Structure 1
Amino acid sequence: MSSTSEANSLANVIGNELPYLRRYARALTGSQGSGDAYAAATLEAILEDRSLFSEKVSARVALFRVFHGIWTSSGSPVAEGETGLAQAAQTHLAKLTANTREALLLNTIEELSVSDIAFVMDIGESEVRHLVDVAQREMADSVSGRVMIIEDEAIIAMDLQAIVADMGHAITGVARTRDAAVELARTEKPDLILADIQLADNSSGIDAVNDILADLGELPVIFITAFPERLLTGERPEPAFLISKPYREDQVRSAVSQAMFFSSTEPLHT
C-alpha cells in the first residue's frame, strides 16, 4: 500500500471515531471550544508521529489513548479564558481524586471495557475499577440541585425522573413541547436541563434550550439523542453533554453528575 493510501485509510478510520472523541473531550472540559481544541491537538500529534496510534487495539481505543496522553500532560481541564460555570467548576474539580472523571466517562458514556480503559490510561485494570468506584461516590456527593426534564415520551420521562430523584436532585417538572419548556423554566429556574431533541409537537428540544438560556443565562444542559454524531461535527455551536438513545441508568447518572460541574450554553442550531 502506498503512503498516500495509508494516510487516506488512517484518516477514514480516525474520522469515524472523531465524533466520540469530541463527546469525551467536551464532557471533560465542559466546553465545545476547549474539548474540540484537545481533539484537534490529538489529531496533530498523530499526524506528526503515526506510531502513537496503536494498531494493537480498536481505532477508538487507540485514539483515546493518544488524547489521554495530551490531556494528562497539559494539566489543565479547561482553556485559559473560560468563564462562568466552567470556571467555577474548578473549585469542585480540585476536590476530586485524580483520573476518576476520566475513568468514569470512558466506562459509562463511551462504554469502553475495563481492559480498554486500562490501555487508554496506561494503568492496571484493578486501578480502573477503583477509579470508577471512587468517581461514582465523589461525583454523587459533590453537587446537587434542581433538574428540569424536557421529554415528550411519558415512560422515558418517568424513568429519567426516577433516576435523577434517586441521585438526590429535585425535579422542577417535565415539559413535552418547546413552549411548555420555556414556561416551566421561567416558573422555577433549574440548575440543570435534561432534554430530548425531538418533542411532541415536532418542535425542537434544542430550540427550547436556546430560548431558556437566552432568558435565564448559563445553565448546564444534557441532550439525549439517538444520533449523537449529528451534534458532534465541530462545524457549528454544539452541546458539550450528550447521551445516546437508548440510554442506560449509569450513563444518565454519570452525565448528570458531570454536567452539574460544567455548562454548554452557546446557541445551538438544528
Structure 2
Amino acid sequence: MSLAATLKSHLPYLRRYARALTGSQKSGDAFVKATLEAIVTEPQSLDQNIAPRVELYKIFHRIWETANVDTGDVDYVGDTESGQNRLRKIAPISRQILLLTALEGFSTEEVAKIADVGVNSINGLLEDAITDIDKEIRSDVLIIEDEALISMELEQIVAGLGHNVCGTAITHKEALIAAEKNKPGLVLADIQLADGSSGIDAVKDILEKFSVPVIFITAFPERLLTGERPEPTFLITKPFQPNAIRAAISQALFFTTETQDA
C-alpha cells in the first residue's frame, strides 16, 4: 500500500485534532499541511515500527513544537506575538494530552510516543488538564439533539462540569426559538435532527444572530472533514466517550475566554 493510501484514512481525524488544539480551522489546517509536507519531503524518516496513525500524529507534534508555521490567524489574542508563541500559550501540554486521549482515543503508551513524554507522567498531565477545566468560567449551554437518551447524557455531562443547560431542542425551529429565548454561551449540536432538518443549518442561523462556540456531534465525522469547504472547529464522533465531550467543551470555552480577555 502506498504512503498516501496509508495516511489518507487518518487525515480527517488529524484535521479534527489540529483544529481542536488550535481553536481554528485555518490554524489547524496550516499545521496539518506542514506535517504532510514534512512527510513528502522525507518519507524515509517514517518509523516503520510505529502504527501509521501514531506516527502521523507524532510528526504533527514535532511540527507543532519546532516549526514556525504561518497560520495567518490573529483571531484570539489580538496582539503582535508570533502565531507559534500564541498557540503554545493557549494549548499547554496537559491539554494536548487530554485531547489525544479523550478526543482521539489514543492509549497512554501511544500518547507518550506522540507527545514525546514519559508514560509515567501522562496521568499527572491529565490531572493538570482536569484542574484547568474545574477553574473555567461557567457557561449556559444549548443542546440540539433529537435522540432523547443522548440529550439526557449530554445534559448530565454539562451539569457535571458546572455549566447550565439553558435549553434543549430536537428540530431546527426549536433550536432557533431556544437560542432567542436564552442566548447560550456554547452550543452542542447533532447534525441530523428529528424532523429531517439539519443541525448545521440551525447553527448557521444562530450564528447569524450572535457569535457562540459550537461543538458538532455526528456518527460520520469524515463527511465534514474533507478539507474542501468551511468545516467545524470542534467535532465529536458518535458513539462518544463522556471525556471527549468534556475535553471539547473545555477547549471551546478556553478559546472563547482567551478572546474575551484579549
User: How far did 1:80 drift?
Assistant: 4.1
The residue type equivalent to 1:51 in the other structure is: Q
Q: Which residue of 2 aligns with 1:113?
A: 107
Q: Which residue of 2 aligns with 1:259?
A: 252
Identity of aligned residues (%): 48
Match of 2:138 among 144, 152, 169: 144
| 1:239 match: secondary structure | coil
Q: Which residue of 2 aligns with 1:197?
A: 191
> Structure 2-normalised TM-score?
0.90
Aligned-CA RMSD value:
2.1
| 1:116 match: secondary structure | helix
Residues 21 and 92 from structure 1, CA distance in 2 versus in 1: closer, same or farther, beyond 3 angstroms?
A: closer
Match of 1:33 among 22, 26, 39: 26
Match of 2:77 among 71, 87, 92: 87
Structure 1 residue ranges (4+ consecutive) displaced by more than 6 angstroms after TM superposition: 90-93
| 2:104 match: secondary structure | coil
For the 8 Å contact 2:136–2:254, the answer to whether it is kept is no
Residue-by-residue CA offset, 1:64-113 (whole Å, 9 max, x unaligned): 0000001112478x934332xx337x9998487x3111100000000000
| 1:87 match: secondary structure | coil
Determine whether 1:169 maps to 2:159: no
For residues 164-243 of structure 1, what are the structure 2 equivalents within 5 Å? Answer: 164-216=158-210, 218-243=211-236
User: How far did 1:30 drift?
Assistant: 0.9
> Structure 1-normalised TM-score?
0.87
The residue type equivalent to 1:228 in the other structure is: P
For residues 24-63 of structure 1, what are the structure 2 equivalents within 5 Å? Answer: 24-63=17-56
Pick which of 46-55 and 207-216 moved more: 46-55
CA distance in 1, matches of 2:59, 2:221: 22
Provide the aligned length of Structure 1 versus Structure 2: 250
The residue type equivalent to 2:242 in the other structure is: E
The residue type equivalent to 2:228 in the other structure is: E
The residue type equivalent to 1:246 in the other structure is: P
| 1:261 match: secondary structure | helix
| 2:10 match: secondary structure | helix
Q: Which residue of 2 aligns with 1:157?
A: 151
The residue type equivalent to 1:196 in the other structure is: D
CA distance in 2, matches of 1:243, 1:161: 16
Match of 2:237 among 224, 244, 247: 244
Residue-by-residue CA offset, 1:113-170 (whole Å, 9 max, x unaligned): 0000100111110112211121111123123211110011111111110110110001
For the 8 Å contact 2:27–2:73, the answer to whether it is kept is no
| 2:77 match: secondary structure | helix
Q: Which residue of 1 aligns with 2:259?
A: none
The residue type equivalent to 1:81 in the other structure is: D
CA distance in 2, matches of 1:187, 1:43: 45
User: How far did 1:189 drift?
Assistant: 0.8
User: How far did 1:197 drift?
Assistant: 0.4
User: How far did 1:188 drift?
Assistant: 1.1
Structure 2: 5+ residue runs without aligned partners? 79-84, 257-262
